[in-house]
Amino acid sequence: MTTDFSFGQINNGGFEVWDTVFTNVYSSELNSAFGVPNPLGGGINGWTSNNGNFGVSRTTDSYSGNNSLIIHNWYSYINQSVFYNDTCSFSPQFVQGFYKYITGNTSGLSHGSAIVTLTRFNGIENDTVAIGNYNFDSTSAYIPFQIPLNYILTLPPDSIHINILNGNTQCAGGNVCNLLYLDDLTLSSAPLAVQNISSDDLVISAYPNPTSTLINLKADTKLLGSVFTIYDNTGRLLMSGKINSENTTVNLSNFSDGVYLFRVGENLKQTFKIIKE
Give 194-215 pLDDT, tens digit per residue: 444 443 444 678 888 888 999 9
Same domain? For 127 and 245 the reply is no
Average pLDDT of the chain is: 84
167 and 141 part of one domain: yes
Listed residues 188, 221, 241: the one ending a domain: 188
pLDDT for 266 beyond 60: no
Answer with the one of 155, 188, 221 that is the final residue of a domain: 188
Number of domains composing the chain: 2
DSSP codes of every residue in 132-150:
EEEEEPPEEEEEEEEEE-E
Q: Are 131 and 149 in contact (CB under 8 A)?
A: yes
Q: What are the pLDDT digits (tens) for 117-129?
A: 999 999 999 999 9
- Per-residue pLDDT at 37: 95
The answer to whether residues 97 and 133 belong to one domain is: yes
CATH at 252: 2.60.40.3580
Average pLDDT over residues 139-167: 93
Q: Which domain holds residue 138?
A: 7-188
Calculated CA dihedral for residues 122, 127, 130, 133, nearest 10 degrees: 150
What percent of the chain is predicted at pLDDT more than 70?
Answer: 87
Residue 160 domain-assigned? Answer: yes
What letters, b where the CB count within 10 A reaches 16 and e where it falls short, cover 217-249? Answer: bebeeebeebbbbbbeeebebeebeebeeeebe
Residues 214 and 165 occupy one common structural domain? no
Mean pLDDT, rounded, for 38-46: 95
Same domain, 223 and 89: no
Confidence at residue 164, expressed as pLDDT on a 0 to 100 scale: 98
Residues 211 and 184 in one domain: no
Lowest-confidence region among 15-19, 138-142, 231-235, 272-276: 231-235
Domain boundary (133, 153, 188) is at 188
One domain for residues 40 and 142: yes
Q: Kindly tell me the burial class for residue 52, based on how many C-beta atoms sit within 10 Å of its own C-beta (0-12, 13-18, 19 or more).
A: exposed
Cα–Cα distance measured from residue 128 to residue 51, given in angstroms and rounded to the nearest whole number: 26
Residues 6+ apart with CB under 8 A from 46: 11, 12, 17, 84, 86
Give the list of residues 6+ apart from residue 134 with CB closer than 8 angstroms, or none: 113, 114, 145, 146, 147
Do 51 and 169 belong together in one domain? yes
Is 195 contained in some domain?
A: no
| Same domain (yes/no): 76, 169 | yes
151 with 240, same domain: the answer is no
